[in-house]
Amino acid sequence: MEHPPMPDVQRDEQGNPRNLHEGARSGERYFLSALSQVVEVIAVCPVLWKSWEGDDVAYVVRLEDGSRKLISGLDEEELRAKISEYRRAIEQTEHLLSQL
């Protein structure tokens, strides 16, 4: 399949545009097949939960029109709720360790 020119897009061994994947880093450009467009990765973070494969990383990407979009198995509200869970887990772990 012939792909249109996509300057500075990460490519696989065959020269095809690479899809956004877990190893993506800020500043890199990838083809996002779900939106059929090239996106630039703005930020990446782990999502600490047991889930389906690929749901353990969240991205903020810049779309071709300049807008930003969250790419994650969770929506923004669910990710914000995770922050509270992380803080509780840290507090509980610190308490547990203080009992040694």
pLDDT tens, 73-96? 889 999 999 899 899 999 999 999
Strand partners, 46: 57
Q: What angle do CA 42, 56, 59 make, to 5 degrees?
A: 10
Report if residue 86 sits inside a domain. no
Report if residue 52 sits inside a domain. yes
Report if residue 44 sits inside a domain. yes
Report if residue 81 sits inside a domain. no
Report if residue 14 sits inside a domain. no
Q: State pTM to two decimals.
A: 0.72
Report if residue 87 sits inside a domain. no
What backbone torsions phi and psi does residue 76 show, to the nearest 5 degrees?
A: -60, -45
Residue 54: domain span: 29-73
pLDDT tens by residue, 17-72: 777 776 788 888 888 888 888 899 999 988 887 666 556 788 999 998 999 999 98
pLDDT at 16 over 80: no
Sign of CA dihedral 52, 66, 44, 78: negative
Count of domains for the chain? 1
